[in-house]
Chains A and B, each alone.
Chain A
Amino acid sequence: MATKTKTLNTQAIPGTDDVTRVQLPNGIVVLARENPHSLSVTVRGYLEAGSLFDPQEKLGLADFAADALMRGTAQRDFKAIYDTLESIGASLGYNGGTHTTGFGGRALSEDLNLILDLLAETLRQPAFPKPAIERLRAQFLTGLALRSQDTKEMAGMTFDEMVYRGHPYSRPEDGFPETINAITAEDLAAYHKKHFGPRGMIVVIVGGIDPQEAVDQVSAALGDWHNPEQPNPLELPEWLPLKTRASKRVEIPGLSQSDLVIGTAGPPRAAKDYMAAAIGNSVLGQFGLMGRVGDAVRERAGLAYYAYSSLGGGIGPGAWTVQAGVNPANEEQAAELIFAEIQRFVDEPVSEEEISDSQSNAIGSMPLSLESNGGVAQALINIERHELGLDYYRNYPTLVKAVTREQIRETAARYLQPDKLALAAAGPTRAAGPTRKD
């Protein structure tokens, strides 16, 4: 059984010998990998267009444009687009991010060409028809109304405003009602014309398809696309840490529970210390039932259903946070426990047992994350986006095992300086005493 498992293991992990990587003459990078067991195919990727370019008064423009691509093209209206997709049980969608606009879809393998045709058409010839744009605007505004009632979202937004003041990461990608209302169909068309192009674009295809055929199909659909106007990606300004610990609370009357976000900026995904941060983060608030934080806040104090840490990574200094959902009367107590855990994480190396547990977990669970076409596609995107190398996931166990306890402590101390953390809370109006609010 052990021998058989070993053979399969190699096959399950993508690497140089089974990933096809081709750069088309117009700049698009195509990555493809066959999954002979699959009847379907997953398409994922991104373009170098994101909310970093959004004017302040039209914040949400990139996000709006991403969704609007699917609302009509020169050839097809909204209904025809979705009729193409839904009649074959396929999907395709766009998602506006800070640095990039992502896309993703899937179909039965024989229908890949339909997805790629639609991808090319919506990317190259979106029509931004006004009635469809107005319907989309109402959907965005409803989303923002719901966001304003969501303690997790509001605590997260407040955290970003504090930690990233003066930095583009302080801005919510989905904007505000007034900025969404300020965006016109002409703005969307102008933004698209300037920023959408093949340079920096990645297309990943994984599933029941021959990799060369996948590359040929992408080339046929997008190989002749050019946009000389496409600007270079924006450089991020330097991020400056808070000078002292800061806290802010947003009131949302009428709710039952509060959310807390505590933390600061962490390392970018490509940083040398990212792996140490990731293993350390597992100890802090992931491993088992949400790591040390889960143990302190949920298991021992019984204060929260969820209390965990997360490490953003990404192109720039994404957030490194601890989050918890607690009764409003328990916000201070939970925050104290979390600050104490961060202090300990920064002051003392994690134990031998803790690092070994989190390393085994990272190594053992990696093949599970590569089980589906979508999981492999995401892995290939990470490889390309952060220049990790095609054999990254095969080398992953070695990289994980190389992390030491002292590296984790140093990394924690470098980022999570306890006297420079931000605490954001969102929750109901609080009474003087610890009474439950309905």
Chain B
Amino acid sequence: MDYLRTQLSNGMQVLLKEIHTAPIISHWLWLRVGSRDEPKGFTGASHWVEHMQFKGTKQFPSGQLDKDISRDGGFWNAMTYIDWTTYFETMPAPKIDLALRLEADRMANSLFEPEEVASERTVIISERQGNENSPLFKLDEDMQAVAFESHPYGHEVIGEMGDLETMSRADLYQHYKHFYVPNNAVLAMAGDFDTQKMLTRVEELFGQIPAGEQPARIAQDEAPPEEERHVETKGPGETIFVRAAYRAPRANHPDFFPLTVLDSLLTGPSSVNLFGGGISNKTSRLYDRLVETEKAVSVGGGLQATIDPFLYAITATVHPQRKAEDVIAPLDEEIARIQEAPPQPAELARAVKQAQALFAYGSESITNQAFWLGFAEMFDTYAWFERYLERLEAVTPADVQRVAQAYLRPEQRVLGIYVPDGVV
């Protein structure tokens, strides 16, 4: 094992991986809170809290922390997802202490000044309106709402407009205090440091934050739909989109790996890298079946590593001279084909080689390596990532056929169509 995985006395988990290829350190703080933890009426709270984490503490007033990091040549950002929220800073190695001090401080001491909450409300509404300009955001939002009846995966991370207009400072602060406790956090760092020295520093800064109550979870497992559900989203434009969303297994379920291979065969390899890019999908089965036959102009698939079963979605952009039905029938035939006959071993070998290459590309970036160190902990442990290639290699043609039969069942899916005003 070439990294340290340990826990502080307050329950905060710490992963440290030395990489000495460049004088850079990437620091990530992960909180186990996302839209999965938001009841109705409070949708978007996790993302809004993430914004408020840039609005100041006593030690680092609003506008100060992003300037401090940038001044030292750092690259920083934050992301909120359905399962988690994360903050990262990649910095020249001698400067990284600033990132540690800042994250330790804002884990417990953010102010949530009322005027800052008010100003951020309109910023987030603007962010949501920008999203609404996109046909696929609208389609996605409608489909998620239909795919889940009670599970909070049924709403978008950004939250519903009504909730963004009504949530109060008290609601947000409570969300923050409830979830931003060290026993709900993972600190992951990779780069040019000495593990023992860094661990000592992490303990000094984060070890003093008292543990909180273990946050309660509202998400309850929800059975997939029993019959196919249809969504039609109308909006501006001329381009039709078709999306089929199936209930996927959770990331730590053994079927996740055969489904990853299945996705690769159907729609091309998904990039395993947040930083590092992917490769094209022009030899995938659905590209061949839909794009080469001029039913669609593009097709893609998305399988995401999540805590609870989420959605595996296949999305096609319909050819300008075609209709949605022209895409749906051949899409269904292709899925039936892999359900009826296992793929050739050579197809699996190709999927594995592609994943190996994507791994090599991703390992160039220290930021990407630090990302994986923490991300895998959100739904499993870092060992999940370490064994990823090995587990893909172990997938057999029969496994792929079996997961196609088990997960890509039409009665379990939501079929969505974006119908533009410009098409009559």
Which positions in A face B, CB cutoff 8 Å? 1-2, 4-5, 8-9, 12, 35, 37-40, 78-79, 82-83, 85-91, 93, 106-108, 134-135, 138-139, 141-142, 145-146, 148-151, 252-257, 287-289, 295, 298-306, 325-327, 357, 360-368, 371-374, 436
Contact = CB atoms under 8 A, between A and B. Distances in A.
Given A5-B192, A90-B279, A142-B320, A108 B129 contact: no
Contact of B292 (A88, A135, A145, A362): A135
B403 interface: no
B73 interface: yes
A88 B357 contact: yes
Contacts of B350: 86-87
How many B residues are at the interface, by size bracket? 35 or more
20 contacts: A1-B93, A8-B20, A86-B282, A86-B283, A86-B354, A141-B320, A142-B317, A142-B320, A145-B239, A256-B130, A302-B120, A302-B123, A305-B123, A327-B129, A364-B73, A367-B22, A367-B23, A368-B90, A371-B22, A371-B367
A244 to B, nearest CB: 30
B63 A288 contact: yes
Interface in B355-402: 355-358, 360-361, 363-367
A12 B22 CA distance: 6
A40 B126 contact: no
Given A9-B23, A371-B365, A304 B75 contact: no
Residue from B73, B75, B93, B124 having most chain A Cβ neighbours under 10 A = B73
Nearest to B127: A305
A145 to B, nearest CB: 4
Contacts of B70: 287-288, 357, 361, 365
B119 interface: yes
Contacts of B74: 364-365, 368
Interface in B59-93: 62-63, 66-67, 70-75, 90-93
A118 to B, nearest CB: 13
Residue from A79, A139, A149 having most chain B Cβ neighbours under 10 A = A149
B297 A300 contact: no
Contact of A327 (B126, B282, B317, B357): B126
B71 A151 contact: no
Contacts, number: 212
B41 interface: no
B133 A151 contact: yes
Nearest to A286: B70
Nearest to B358: A89
A26 to B, nearest CB: 30
A140 to B, nearest CB: 9
Contacts of A357: 67, 70-71
B292 to A, nearest CB: 7
B99 to A, nearest CB: 13
Interface stretch (B212-220, B230-238, B335-343): B230-238
Given A138-B321, A302-B123, A89 B357 contact: yes
A365 B73 contact: yes
Contact of B297 (A78, A142, A287, A361): A142
Interface string B312-326: 000001011100000
Given A256-B133, A289-B66, 7 more contacts: A37-B364, A108-B356, A149-B135, A325-B130, A357-B70, A360-B71, A364-B92
A134 B277 CA distance: 28
Contact of B121 (A40, A257, A302): A302
A78 to B, nearest CB: 7
Contacts of B280: 82, 85-86, 91, 93
Nearest to B235: A254
Contacts of A106: 361
Give the 4 A-B residue pairs with the shortest CB-CB distance, closest first: A364-B73, A89-B357, A254-B236, A305-B127
A358 to B, nearest CB: 9
Contacts of A86: 268, 279-283, 350, 354
B201 interface: no
Contact of B298 (A9, A139, A149, A367): A139
A142 B277 CA distance: 24
A138 B297 contact: yes
B291 interface: yes
Contact of B294 (A12, A138, A295): A138
B94 interface: yes
Nearest to B95: A364
A371 B365 CA distance: 6
A148 B367 CA distance: 36
Contacts of B281: 86
Contacts of B208: none
A38 B21 CA distance: 10
A142 B237 CA distance: 10
B406 interface: no
Residue from B239, B291, B294 having most chain A Cβ neighbours under 10 A = B239
B252 to A, nearest CB: 26
B189 interface: no
Contact of A142 (B122, B123, B239, B363): B239
Interface string B112-141: 000000111111111111101101000000
B73 A361 contact: yes
Given A85-B279, A142-B239, A151-B133, A1 B357 contact: no
A373 B238 CA distance: 39
A254 B280 CA distance: 33
B177 interface: no
Contacts of A362: 73
Interface in B1-54: 20-24, 54
Contact of A254 (B24, B279, B421): B421
A254 B420 CA distance: 11
B346 to A, nearest CB: 9
B122 A302 contact: yes
Given A366-B73, A372-B365, A1 B94 contact: yes
A149 B298 CA distance: 18
B159 interface: no
Contacts of A1: 93-94, 194
A248 to B, nearest CB: 19
B269 interface: yes
A365 B67 contact: no
B29 to A, nearest CB: 18
